[in-house]
Chain A
């Protein structure tokens, strides 16, 4: 009988093998579900890949979707490095969009040349403040941040609804729940002319670099790493847990807020529903598939961005609901978490001699 034994040390292959094999496993399981839905999984998967990667346009659109995913991925990754689970990047992203819209629509800055930096900063500030709510609750009252960040997502979405159905509704929208459009000065410029790839790409990549620098080259990053590795050692070294919770969550909220400001300014050009098809939640998968490595986040974000885009295609070509994307994402996350756990074991077949000896008694 083959038995699973705990590994004495992690396999060096696990770093790459776990995410890759888990993703393959997820697609295999997804194939079974697609077949149940009466669709040839091969056809579906071919569609899924051909849309995002089959053309220049597909590639640029994949990048467009990867931009917010990089940022929300980092917003999950940074707190996770000190064992804080930020499930609220979705809400922080929404607040970022609200903050940006406020600057553009309700301050005189919207028509000036500084509109773009102003709306980005406002988005980051709004995301940071939103994220500070669960941070303060955790730091001062030890309230579990997993639950508070998650629940605040719903409140953030309702807040957007309130604004676009109520005080911020565009009188010219003919009853549609939309804010007034952003003036041209407040639109994030395109990075590649003729495509939707916008300046946010550079900001997201800069955020990746900054996160790496923060973690490895600053005292703050050192404290995060110690807290994440051994909270007791951190306490022993006099590292202030509460202060670091507030700081890390504020930075995380700002990153997600930046994503929201970018979406509102570059893609939608206004505050509206559906700014994010779940970028905040997908950021959780991005961070874990990247094994909490900032650089890998950028790559994984592209793959999951492609999944969003391919899902759009499936809707059109095969008439599948967009929920297929959520299903595949869910499967990937499930398989990655399971894979992490299984990587801690190895399979061992008993030697024939040992089996004989065991039988002899």
Chain B
């Protein structure tokens, strides 16, 4: 079904989509031509995912039309879109973990005869994978695969269904630098064959390295479409955020104070009972940001949970503020003055149906200033909320609005406000800016740097290597539950850290 490269395949005109209280897409035009890699660029909440979910039949537009190879179309469901050759890979993969790669691909396939020729299917899949440079074992079970490999299975699934237009939502957010390079190579080959690729992203570097054309959305409107070769990162950033990005990180050299967090020879198991940490030792001093770089699933979560008192360790010691806190409860840790920005904001960081004000005192409601004895002083809670909403610029209809109605960036501001308001001496920051737009990211980075200057110790765990390098005084790279090496910021290249993230020890890496 692939058309001539350059021949217009999809044309979306005047697409408008309203959700209660927000216009996600406001008369957006978007074209996809065969043979191109089209980046859909924008901050969070710009309407990128909504626009693509409309094309994929997931949402119905309130206005506007979609033309496919010149004929008008309305996609009623993802199945409908797939039949027309449009496929989408979401950030959350839709795979059955206990099935093999082949089984997953057959499962999603078009109606087939009752007899499944698994052998032939495996051979076909292996051939497809090889053709596009996607290394994946067809007989492996999904749970055994890395995130990068699972993503390849998702792409193979779409190819097996004959997709001509592949939409990828933030495809690199879960990948190592090496995996990202491999993915881009695959995408280029797909485009060279006359298929069209759309990547939804907010990372300028990705646009520069892979896209041929860029459409920028802001606040639900299309700002413009430009050829990637004729634009610059500066111009795109301006289009994306409506102003120039500023280099706000002017890090002053601080002499770190005494150790605030110390872990020694930490061993722990994952939820599945597999070894997750194998003898991790680290220390974070006052006035210092230590970043943990690594691909998700290499023990970062377990490390953070142990420090927060949320997970038992099997061996080792934990010191906070110079005292042995091995085996401390979450409440003990809070009382030691530890602020914790959790990985899962919605799932762990807030009580979504409770109000913003209640969520802002989630950890400090025991404090005497919020009421005497068993009583909770609603007025003090509301006042406290008003102060923090103003200070941290949390956009909310009011202090009593349910926290679950806040956007990602505002939710993170709420959590940050709460954790910083307690004047912590140690801050655990887990993926503090994941999924946030440039504006929100910047304000959160500033807050962390302010805390550092005020003498707090910060343990920063992030998959975004740029972020780790930008903020950290020292970077520890974690792989397979072990620290591969600790480097001072500015002394190691992204390349070297990337290699350690892939499992090379410092000595081997350099």
User: Which of A92-100, A104-112, A217-225 interfaces with chain B?
Assistant: A217-225
The distance from the CB of A126 to the nearest CB of chain B, in whole angstroms, is: 24
- In the bound complex, how far is the Cα of B358 from the Cα of A291, in angstroms? 21
B374 at the interface (CB under 8 A from A): yes
User: Which residues of A from 225 to 255 have beta carbons under 8 Å from B?
Assistant: 225-226, 229-230, 232-240
Are B60 and A354 interface neighbours, CB within 8 A? yes
B 61-89 contacts with A by CB, 8 A: 71-74, 76, 80, 84
**A229 and B353 contact, CB distance less than 8 A:** yes
A172 lies within 8 A of chain B by Cβ = no
Closest chain-B Cβ to A81's Cβ sits at a distance in Å of 11
Are A226 and B351 in touch, CB under 8 angstroms?
yes
In contact, B20 and A230 (Cβ under 8 angstroms): no
Q: In whole angstroms, what is the CA distance A70 to B344 when docked?
A: 39
State whether B352 touches A236 (Cβ < 8 A). Answer: no
- A236→B376 contact, CB < 8 A: no
The answer to whether A238 touches B374 (Cβ under 8 A) is: no
Query: Looking at chain B's contact residues, is the secondary structure mostly helix, strand, loop, or mixed?
Result: loop
Identify the stretch in B8-16, B147-155, B360-368, B444-452 within 8 Å (CB) of chain A at 4 or more residues: B360-368
Q: How far is the CB of A311 from chain B (nearest CB, A)?
A: 37
By a CB distance below 8 angstroms, the chain B residues around A222 are 358, 361, 365, 376
Of B73, B342, B353, B358, the contact of A357 (CB 8 Å cutoff): B73
Say yes or no: A219-B351 contact (C-beta < 8 A), given A235-B330, A240-B331.
no
B337: A residues at CB distance < 8 A? none
Cross-chain contact B362 with A237 (CB below 8 angstroms)? yes
* A361 contacts partner chain B, Cβ-Cβ < 8 Å: yes
**Contact among A218, A226, A240, A357 for B354, CB-based, below 8 A:** A226
Cβ of B480 within 8 Å of any chain A Cβ, yes or no, is no
B171 at the interface (CB under 8 A from A): no
Q: Would you call B274 an interface residue if the criterion is a C-beta within 8 Å of the partner chain's C-beta atoms?
A: no
What sequence of 0s and 1s flags, for each residue 190-227 of chain A, a beta carbon within 8 Å of any chain B beta carbon? 00000000000000000000000000111111100110
Most chain A beta-carbon contacts within 10 A, residue among B342, B347, B354, B371: B354
- Measured as residues with beta carbon below 8 angstroms from the partner, the interface class of chain B is 35 or more
State whether A217 touches B378 (Cβ < 8 A). yes
Using known A-B contacts A9-B20, A238-B329, determine if residue A357 contacts B74 with beta carbons closer than 8 Å.
yes
A236 x B375 contact (CB < 8 A): no
CB distance from A222 to the nearest CB of B (A): 5
How far in angstroms is the closest Cβ of chain B from A191? 30
For residue B347, which residues in chain A have a CB less than 8 angstroms away from its CB?
230, 232-233
Q: Which residues of A contact B331 (CB under 8 A)?
A: 238-240
The answer to whether A317 has its CB under 8 Å from any CB of chain B is no
| Contact A238:B353 (CB < 8 A) given known A219-B376, A230-B347, A233-B348 | no
Q: How far is the CA of A226 from the CA of B376 in the complex (A)?
A: 14
Give the distance to chain B from A226, nearest Cβ to Cβ, in Å.
5
A225-B363 in contact (CB<8A): no
> How far apart sit A354 and B330, CA to CA, in the bound complex (Å)?
54
Residue B334 CB within 8 A of the other chain: yes
Whether A358 contacts B76 by the Cβ 8 Å rule is yes
Smallest CB-CB separation from B83: which chain A residue?
A: A361
**Closest Cβ neighbor of A348 among chain B residues:** B60
| A55 neighbours in B (Cβ, 8 Å) | none
For the complex, give the distance between the alpha carbons of A104 and B201 in Å.
75
Query: Given A230, A353, A360, which contacts B351 in the complex, CB threshold below 8 Å?
Result: A230
- A229–B376 alpha-carbon span in the complex (Å): 18
Report the separation of the CA atoms of residues A230 and B344 in the bound assembly, to the nearest whole angstrom. 12
C-alpha gap A358/B76 in the complex (Å): 8
Partner of B365, one of A219, A229, A354, A360: A219
CA of A360 to CA of B329 in the docked complex: distance in angstroms? 63
Q: Does B19 contact A (CB under 8 A)?
A: yes
Assess the B354–A354 pair: CB atoms within 8 A. no
Knowing that A219-B376, A238-B309, A357-B72 are A-B contacts, what are 17 other residue pairs whose CB atoms are under 8 Å apart, sorted by A's residue number?
A: A8-B19, A216-B376, A218-B374, A222-B376, A226-B358, A230-B351, A233-B350, A233-B362, A236-B348, A236-B349, A237-B330, A237-B334, A237-B363, A238-B330, A357-B73, A357-B74, A360-B71
Leading 5 A-B pairs by shortest Cβ distance: A238-B331, A229-B351, A357-B74, A238-B330, A230-B351
